[in-house]
Amino acid sequence: MTDTMPLWTPSEAFKASAPMTDFITWCGKCRDKTFDDYDDFYDWSISERGPFWSAVWDYCDVRGDKGGIDLVDGDVMLKARFFPEARLNFAENLLAKAGDGDALIFRGEDKVSERWSWQRLTATVSRLQQALRDLGISEGDRVAAMMPNMPETIALMLAAASIGAIWSSCSPDFGELGVLDRFGQIEPKLFIACDGYWYNGKRQDVADKVRAVSEKLAVPVLIVPYAGDAPALAASLADGRTFDQFIAPYAVKDIDYVPLPFAHPLYILFSSGTTGVPKCIVHSAGGTLLQHLKEQRFHCGLSAGDRLFYFTTCGWMMWNWLVSGLASGATLCLYDGSPFHPDGNVLFDYAQQEKFAIFGTSAKYIDAVRKGGFTPKTTHDLSSLRLMTSTGSPLSPEGFSFVYEGIRDDVQLASISGGTDIVSCFVLGNPLKPVWRGEIQGPGLGLAVDVWDDEGKPVRGEKGELVCTKAFPSMPVMFWNDPDGAKYHAAYFDRFDNIWCHGDFAEWTEHGGLVIHGRSDATLNPGGVRIGTAEIYNQVEQLDEVAEAICIGQDWDDDVRVILFVRLAAGLILDEALDKKIKTKIRTGASPRHVPAKIIQVADIPRTKSGKIVELAVREVVHNRPVKNKEALANPEALDLFADLPDLKS
């Protein structure tokens, strides 16, 4: 059934005050153009990408020398170069603000609470920069961190960026092999780790893991105090020192920001690694900065002084996205630990106390709050909240409704999607347009997003591949250890010539929005009909009896049959009645072809460190094929539950 009314419509006052509106007006005056509406402006941002991205640079007061050329070889994806003459420093742009106001606010569950002013952050970066240089770290060297989402992590990243070093991070809950699979490939010159962390109220020890990883990497190790004994851990390492020891010799002085090319590597991010060793995706300083400024300033309406929160770890690209909020003068609200300790109110308590303007989280979190029976709308003052964003997996229509019914009725809800590959979003929110249930509001400015069928033709009203048909600044610079670019090309350009194919199964809506139906490589093909797994999850997750589900296609009788695994609410058993209820819900809510051939109850469902369920890994186990990298999972033991199930043999 198609909804006839949007969940939220921006008021005229909201639209008038949105930075997006001012930016459109400003661009019109600068270019002596009149834009009829947002859609007209979006079309211009695609057709005139050089001038558009140049306008983002100017409007956002990017510090640096832009040069005289905005785009070279723009028609060839893998050759396109934005601002080839430019020189800038990423850290300088994030530390443009000064003073005693809050730059960073940190909560480590209920154990640690800190505030860092802009002055303290800049001073710490100054001392760290000097320490890094004296350690011999310079342009192009890698700095790797296994750290919680805490202020010192951000300061260390900024210090590395200030001298042109390349930053890479993961969260401290990664296993030893998971850390080495990532950092071992990039050969860092410094390894940074915490001395422990908090999760669910309990101290998590990492000492043995830090010692094992540091022995393999054979580089100096910096230990940041958080939930353990940093001096003892540092002393037990061959070349270890504490954070305080590292910066003690240095007085605060002006930071020496090294001017670097637009395409200079800033970050190395990693693919999930559930089908092999993670790919090392290298992102540029200029592309990351411009793309994040565009998304945060215009699509999210972020302004100086706003409180920006995203629930993320340092192993997810949303951490990199969050940190860029400093470039707009926003205060970052950091949280590390369980979002349900001591209960499901903890993040909303934080939002109320610190007056979040933007609250970012995952679709899984919103669903967990809904199923947990929490209604922040009635228990918290969230009047400061202007925007709520959701990503990580498709947000179900019920998740959309719950935000308005249970969290706040007058808020822009932006379901966003992009990923590690572009360290940003292809599709996201728009403050000038309504929010429709189950729909992402639209593509990002400057991104030529479309949906194509298998023949490479644009489609409307049917599902297809999410593509981007023109080059954009936040495309990866390269993959690490991919000298001829073969891995890079295979990841995005093998499907369609000179077209970025993102690997999402998507569909345009009648409102000009998009629906993501899951990953293309996880789509189901029973009887040759392509089905997105998210279409099934959207139905199943409405049932209170089902806590979580994962769906795969099993090869069967020269075809594929749909198998649905469910983790049920505590104490429930999948009996005949519940089996029938689930199938009926899928049949009536989706279609008869979506109904699984079998529904099987399991005690747990495997997921990545960022909370994404891993359909491909489960599919491999079901077909008795090896899973190449279990270390990429948060709960690898869950995969054992799917091996040799009797129900899958009949």
Res 274: pLDDT: 58
CATH says 523-649 is which class? alpha beta
Closest of 477, 470, 379, 498 to residue 421, by C-alpha: 477
Element (H, E) at 284: strand 280-284
Give DSSP secondary structure letters for 530-541.
-B-HHHHHHHHT
pLDDT band at 589 (very low <50, low <70, confident <90, very high): confident
Mean pLDDT calculated for residue range 149-156: 98
Q: Would you list the domain boundaries of the chain?
A: 523-649
Closest of 266, 145, 124, 161 to residue 217, by C-alpha: 145
Q: In this structure, are residues 267 and 461 in contact, taking their beta carbons and an 8 Å threshold?
A: no
Phi/psi-derived region of residue 636, left when phi > 0, alpha when psi is between -120 and 50, beta in every other case = alpha
Mean pLDDT estimate for the chain: 94
CA 61-67-73 angle, 5° bins? 115
Residue 530 clears pLDDT 80, i.e. is over it: no
- Whole-number percent of the chain with pLDDT over 70: 99
Element (H, E) at 516: strand 514-519
Residue 592 clears pLDDT 90, i.e. is over it: no
Q: Hey, what amino acid is at 364?
A: K
Q: In angstroms, rounded to a whole number, what is the distance separating the alpha carbons of residues 48 and 446?
A: 8
Q: Hey, what amino acid is at 29?
A: K
Q: Which residue has the tokens 């669903």?
A: 367
Closest of 379, 448, 434, 437 to residue 404, by C-alpha: 437
Q: In angstroms, rounded to a whole number, what is the distance separating the alpha carbons of residues 362 and 374?
A: 16
Q: Residue 411 to residues 20, 224, 404, 579: CA-CA distances in angstroms?
A: 17, 38, 8, 37
- SS3 annotation, 433-455: CCECCCCECEECCCCCEEEECCC
Q: Which residue has the tokens 């932006």?
A: 414
Name every residue whose Cβ is closer than 8 Å to that of residue 343 and which is 6 or more positions away in sequence.
none
Residue 424 clears pLDDT 80, i.e. is over it: yes
Mean pLDDT calculated for residue range 72-76: 97
Mean pLDDT calculated for residue range 351-366: 96
Least confident span in 115-124, 309-318, 523-532 = 523-532
Res 625: pLDDT: 86
Name every residue whose Cβ is closer than 8 Å to that of residue 36 and which is 6 or more positions away in sequence.
none
Res 271: pLDDT: 85
319/588: higher pLDDT? 319
Give DSSP secondary structure letters for 337-348.
S-TTSS-TTHHH
Distance of CA 93 to the CA centre of its chain: 21
Record the tokens describing residue 294, joined without a space.
């565009």
Residue 2 clears pLDDT 80, i.e. is over it: no
Residue 632 clears pLDDT 80, i.e. is over it: no
Give tens-digit pLDDT for 471-501.
999 999 999 999 999 999 999 999 999 999 9
Res 469: pLDDT: 98
Res 393: pLDDT: 82
Q: In angstroms, rounded to a whole number, what is the distance separating the alpha carbons of residues 67 and 263?
A: 13
Res 244: pLDDT: 97
Closest of 114, 399, 446 to residue 291, by C-alpha: 446
Res 421: pLDDT: 96
Q: In this structure, are residues 445 and 485 in contact, taking their beta carbons and an 8 Å threshold?
A: no
- Burial (Cβ within 10 Å: 0-12, 13-18, ≥19) of residue 212: middle
- Whole-number percent of the chain with pLDDT over 90: 83
Name every residue whose Cβ is closer than 8 Å to that of residue 579 and which is 6 or more positions away in sequence.
599
In the chain, the largest separation of any two C-alpha atoms, in whole Å, equals: 72
Q: In angstroms, rounded to a whole number, what is the distance separating the alpha carbons of residues 112 and 336?
A: 10
Q: Which residue has the tokens 């001829």?
A: 484
